[in-house]
Amino acid sequence: MAKTIHSMIRVLQEQRSIEFYHQAFGLAVAERLDFETFILIYLSNRESGFELELTVNKARSEPYALGDGYGHLAVSVDDLDAEHRRLAELGFNPGAVVDFKHYGKKLARFFFISDPDGYKIEVLQRGGRYL
């Protein structure tokens, strides 16, 4: 059986991304590997064994084209409203809170936020399948 262990995104500025993910989601550098042409940075926290891998290509100066396919990372929090306020106070401009229903039954409560490179992150209220 496969176990998911990390997801990778390419970022332009190492420190800017590390600071965002630390302030927004409490992720810290678990390991940093510096190669000749790129750097790999693994971010994690105590909530999960899953890691976010940041790849910094040293010769890259142009923003990455994220494409038109819909994709995102997702995190869950205990208090969605408090987290929305906190992220807004940090200047991260979270989107509106959405109450998402399926056939009239509440499925999820969430909002989206973008990281410095434009990647979307869904922040979900913990509960149901979103623990």
38's CB contacts (< 8 A; 6+ apart) are: 55, 56, 57, 58
Q: Tell me whether residue 19 is one of the annotated catalytic residues.
A: no
d(CA 112, CA 95): 5
Is the CB of residue 84 less than 8 Å from the CB of residue 98?
A: no
Where does the chain have alpha helices with state H?
14-25, 80-89
Catalytic residues: 122
